[in-house]
Amino acid sequence: MKGTALSARLGAIITMAALLVTACTGSTTAPSGSPSAGAASSTPKLGGTLVFGTSQETTHCDYTTLVVIGGGALLCPDYNQEALVKYDFKTNTVVPSLATTWEEKPDSLTFHLRSGVKFQDGTPFNADAVVFNFRRAFDKTFPANQGLTIPYQIYVPAYKSVTKVDDMTVRVDVTPAPNTLRSFSTPATYIESPTAVQAGGKDYQFNPVGTGPYKVVSFESNVRFELTRYDGYWGQKPAPDRIVVLRKVDLAALANDLLSGNIDAMVAPTPQQVDQLKAAGFQVQFFPTLQINYLALNVTKPPFDDAKVRQAANFAFDKEALVQVMKGAGAPVYAAWFPDAYGYNGDVEQYKFDANKAKQLLDQAGWTLPAGGKVRMKGGQELSVKLVMRQGQAGGQGAQPTVATSNLQDVGFKVDLQVLDTAAYNSTTSGVFSPTCCNLANAGHASTFPDPIDWLGRWTTASIPPGERNFAFWSNPTYDKLVNDARVELDPTKRLQLLKDAQKVLRDEAPIIFTGREQLSTAWNSSKIQALPLTTAFSRVDPWSIVMK
Amino acid sequence: MKAGYLVRRTAASVGILFGVSLLVFAAVRLVPGDPVSLMLGKADQANAKLVADFRKSYGLDDPLPVQYAAWLSHIAGGDFGRSLDTGERVGDILGRRLSATLVLASLGAVLALSVGILWGVAGAYLSGPLGGVLRSAPLVLLSVPSFAFGIALGFVFAVWLRLLPASGMVSPVDGGGPLDVLRHSVLPAVTLAILPASLTARITAGTLDELRHEDFVRTVLAAGIPMRRIALRHVLPNALLPVITNSGVLIGSMFTSAVFVEAVFGWPGVGTMMVNAVEGRDYPTVQAGAFIVASVFVIVNWTVDALYSLVDPRIKA
């Protein structure tokens, strides 16, 4: 025992000494170049190699197989393949991509395809290719669909079938629903070379062929992949000629790589690394995301089977304190959606930090503080809750369990905070997918589009695990009806009202503590790179947004 | 030849491997959380239909004995299956990862044994403060975990002095030549070698110390043979017996220490593969990895036993 303690201490001392050494010498090893970020120069420079480091998984390069949807900043398929249309998050409109024009009817979409486009293997892009890809993604009877599990289908809920009209026109039949056009910008609809898909078999996912601006040179799962410019690309060329993505689990190793010049940029350094990198002259910038972090309150068992206790927990959580812990990264969220976004209901009362109100509500619910005690009691039971988080949860999502523990203890809860590894956390028998797991589940979710529907859909009865991720196991028929009606309501005014009414129910029933909007950062060597922003949706590096020096 | 001894050892090795395969198969399934819910959880989806499809396509629905038998028969045919996480052939991943670890472990082993033996001999025969330092240094070094050395070395030589790369096995751009790999392996190999070198030094010095006072040493000394010759011809070969025994365990432990060292230096070897695979409940990869590492242990130990039987006249058929 003594030996372990000693060795641990020695290790800590050595590490600290090393950190000190780095901190002291950081300024002398700073890369040259002025720290000017964001502002893109008037004429974008083409050329150069970008070496990018990430700690998130890079499993394969084909969206039709299972990959991480939310994670990963520089995702291979986005550089290799394209959809028929693109969603422009600056203007919130759908813009052309592989389709140049389209006609929208309630029950069908007709796409006119871009002519002269060739896949990276030289085969032509045409209606046959679109039909092949859509059937591969959505049609269970299609040979190329066999053996695939395609989670991204869920983002194209209205799809029914596809028909070739002529060589450069396809018609997609859909069930009438709002916003169907934009769903044809999502990953399940990416178009890939039918020839390459059929020839590649099970290894195609490491060797994909799309129409996008980059070809895949090599792909080693979770270690490294390399992209090179596709000279035959039909559209505007992104800046780098070559992109290498290194994946390392350890963020400290990535920060070292950046400091030592082994890589040019990384995503999501820790707050400590942000300070260290800035001190050494590297550029670090934060970008807003569409991710809301939350704690789901398990309503199937005491104490959160009582709405008053859930409301109390909501008032007890100090969202400003969380932002402080995160050194200003992130923004508080007081209700079920972003205050500045479409569909937000500003009329419902928000859960702002109010410990006294929380205490009153707990008193009303019958949980009272015994004289001289710190933990509330009711009928001889302690107000004791188990909070579960996942190892590796980072950013505000990673920091909030500590804040919640301290806040809940302040108003009379006893909190048992447990950190599980990913598999145990996701277990359907003992993790957050099971009602027996815990009282609070720590999680976060990024919305696909700046529209509350995906997000509100999370808390419907149909989303209760194992079907989906309603970790509160909360079920409310009124709420279900509002959300389901909003999914198919074509009249924008009526739809908006449904979305707002749903938020009111969510607020009153309080099955979730909404904590904050995540912000993510990229850090880069400013002597090589001028700008490396993340997109608001999914927090990705858009190929065309990279500005090299 | 001591054929009987070797046959017995070989039979025992096969038995051990069989037991290992059973243990590994059971162990990965006892850990809470199964690969399908994990993957679907990561994919931000948990659609009941998808889960069922996925289980079926990977044979996870079959009874465990059937799965075990299927796995064994596939291994016998050299097929380790496909990774549940990435869909790659496990055999391909193993080939890549194992060669990376072998490069690291063999460099580490060569360093550890050569430096350790020299150090032990010097520690035993040098007098004065230098000998003292050489004799006591292993104790101090043994009490520091290898990853701490790794982090410290990384900061000093990579981040601060920028003499060597901080992590990885090849340069991110246009890397992969022998010199490039060697440059990348210096820090991890040294880190990996520090503990076993200290251990070897301690054992060598300790045994030499004991042997120096043995009767046969006194006898040859009385015969007028010079000290240096006695040390090299008579004492050292005897001192090497425990070193050889330990080197088996030591080389095997290279693989386990490599887990930490590979993590610190982002070395794409079996260690990091196993850590990721366990976290991902990637059954085929964990099973194959554990089985292969166990096989390496068994083979190395078998070799050591064989060597031992050659060196030690007391072992008979």
In terms of CA atoms, which chain A residue is nearest residue B140?
A: A7
Question: With contacts defined as CB-CB under 8 Å, which chain A residues touch B45?
Answer: 69, 151, 154, 468
Three-state DSSP state, B88: coil
Is the pLDDT reported for residue B83 higher than 90? no
Share of chain A above pLDDT 90, in %: 59
Least-confidence region, from A286-290, A446-450, A545-549, B230-234 = B230-234
In terms of CA atoms, which chain A residue is nearest residue B30?
A: A424
Residue B211, pLDDT score: 83
From residue A382, alpha-carbon distances to A248, A367, A376 in Å are 44, 9, 6
Q: What is the DSSP string of B240-261?
A: HHHHHHHHHHHHHHHHHHHHHH
Q: How far apart are CA B145 and CA A11, in angstroms?
A: 7
pLDDT band at A341 (very low <50, low <70, confident <90, very high): confident
Q: Does A19 touch chain B (CB under 8 A)?
A: yes
Is the pLDDT reported for residue A23 higher than 70? no
**Beta bridge partner(s), residue A87:** A94
Are A262 and B54 inside 8 Å of each other by CB? Answer: no
Q: How far apart are CA B265 and CA B271, in angstroms?
A: 11
Is the pLDDT reported for residue B45 higher than 80? no
Residue A211, pLDDT score: 97
CB burial of residue A320 (10 Å; 0-12, 13-18, 19+):
exposed
Are A422 and B152 inside 8 Å of each other by CB? Answer: no
In terms of CA atoms, which chain A residue is nearest residue B268?
A: A223
Share of chain A above pLDDT 70, in %: 90
Least-confidence region, from A308-312, A399-403, B247-251 = B247-251
Which residues 44-63 on chain A approach chain B with CB closer than 8 angstroms?
Answer: 49, 51, 57, 59-60
pLDDT band at A20 (very low <50, low <70, confident <90, very high): very low
Give tens-digit pLDDT for A468-497. Answer: 789 999 999 999 999 999 999 999 999 999
Position A142: which residue type? F
The shortest CB-CB distance from A51 to any of B160, B172, B281 is to B172
Give tens-digit pLDDT for A48-75. Answer: 999 999 988 788 888 876 555 445 688 8
Give tens-digit pLDDT for A206-227. Answer: 999 999 999 999 998 888 899 9
Of residues B236 and A25, which shows the higher confidence score?
B236
Most confident option among A457-466, B163-172, B234-243: A457-466
Token pair recorded at residue B8: 């017995």
Residue A5, pLDDT score: 41
Residue A353, pLDDT score: 94
pLDDT band at B168 (very low <50, low <70, confident <90, very high): confident
Over residues B191-217, the mean pLDDT reads 86
Three-state DSSP state, B231: helix
Residue A228, pLDDT score: 97
Q: How far apart are CA B114 and CA B201, in angstroms?
A: 10
Are A260 and B54 inside 8 Å of each other by CB? Answer: no
The shortest CB-CB distance from B152 to any of A15, A244, A466 is to A15
Is the pLDDT reported for residue B53 higher than 80? no
Residue A500 CB-half CA count within 13 A: 16
Token pair recorded at residue A31: 């890369």
Q: Is residue A331 a contact partner of residue A470, using CB atoms and an 8 Å limit?
A: no
pLDDT band at A394 (very low <50, low <70, confident <90, very high): confident
pLDDT band at B81 (very low <50, low <70, confident <90, very high): confident
The shortest CB-CB distance from B33 to any of A3, A222, A427 is to A427
Q: Is residue B276 a contact partner of residue A222, using CB atoms and an 8 Å limit?
A: yes
Three-state DSSP state, A389: strand
Q: What is the DSSP string of A309-338?
A: HHHHHHHH--HHHHHHHTTT-SEE--SSS-
Is the pLDDT reported for residue A374 higher than 80? yes
Which residues 262-291 on chain A approach chain B with CB closer than 8 angstroms?
Answer: 262-263
Of residues A120 and A92, which shows the higher confidence score?
A120
Three-state DSSP state, A541: coil
Question: What DSSP designation does A191 have?
Answer: B
Question: pTM of the entire structure?
Answer: 0.79
Over residues B147-169, the mean pLDDT reads 85
Question: With contacts defined as CB-CB under 8 Å, which chain A residues touch B167?
Answer: 248, 253, 256-257, 262
Are A18 and B48 inside 8 Å of each other by CB? Answer: no
Give tens-digit pLDDT for A81-112. Answer: 999 999 988 888 999 999 999 999 999 999 99
Are A65 and B264 inside 8 Å of each other by CB? Answer: no
Residue A38, pLDDT score: 37
In terms of CA atoms, which chain B residue is nearest residue A50?
A: B173
Q: How far apart are CA B165 and CA B175, in angstroms?
A: 12
Disruptive mutation site among A19, A154, A425, A426 for chain B (greatest number of B CBs within 10 Å): A426
CA distance A367 to chain B (A): 34
Burial pattern A37-74, b for ≥16 Cβ within 10 A else e, equals: beeeeeeeeeebbbbbbbbbbbbbbbbbbbbebbbbbb
CA distance B47 to chain A (A): 5
Residue A130, pLDDT score: 98
In terms of CA atoms, which chain B residue is nearest residue A2?
A: B143
Residue B42, pLDDT score: 54
Give tens-digit pLDDT for A497-544. Answer: 999 999 999 999 999 999 999 888 999 999 999 999 988 877 889 999
Which residues 341-400 on chain A approach chain B with CB closer than 8 angstroms?
Answer: none
Residue A509, pLDDT score: 95
Of residues A415 and A324, which shows the higher confidence score?
A415
pLDDT band at A41 (very low <50, low <70, confident <90, very high): very low
Q: Does B138 touch chain A (CB under 8 A)?
A: no
Q: How far apart are CA A293 and CA A401, in angstroms?
A: 11
Of residues B245 and A60, which shows the higher confidence score?
A60
From residue B262, alpha-carbon distances to A222, A490, B104 in Å are 14, 55, 9
Q: How far apart are CA A218 and CA A202, in angstroms?
A: 16
The shortest CB-CB distance from A6 to any of B46, B143, B171 is to B143
Share of chain B above pLDDT 90, in %: 6
Q: Is residue B239 a contact partner of residue B201, using CB atoms and an 8 Å limit?
A: no
Is the pLDDT reported for residue A159 higher than 70? yes
Residue B313, pLDDT score: 66
**Other CB atoms within 10 Å distance of the CB of residue A323:** 21
CA distance A69 to chain B (A): 5
Question: With contacts defined as CB-CB under 8 Å, which chain B residues touch A71?
Answer: 42
Over residues B32-51, the mean pLDDT reads 61
Residue B27, pLDDT score: 83
Residue A24, pLDDT score: 37
**Beta bridge partner(s), residue A443:** A294
Q: How far apart are CA A114 and CA B310, in angstroms?
A: 76
Mean pLDDT of chain A: 87
Are A249 and B272 inside 8 Å of each other by CB? Answer: yes
CA distance B128 to chain A (A): 27
Residue A413, pLDDT score: 96
In terms of CA atoms, which chain B residue is nearest residue A153?
A: B45
Is the pLDDT reported for residue A33 higher than 70? no
Is the pLDDT reported for residue A28 higher than 70? no
Of residues A248 and B108, which shows the higher confidence score?
B108
CA distance B259 to chain A (A): 13
Over residues B103-129, the mean pLDDT reads 88
Give tens-digit pLDDT for B174-202. Answer: 777 888 899 999 999 999 999 889 988 88
Token pair recorded at residue A506: 């969510």
Are A250 and B264 inside 8 Å of each other by CB? Answer: yes
Question: Greatest CA span in chain A, whole angstroms?
Answer: 81
pLDDT band at A140 (very low <50, low <70, confident <90, very high): confident
Is the pLDDT reported for residue B317 higher than 60? no
pLDDT band at A402 (very low <50, low <70, confident <90, very high): very high
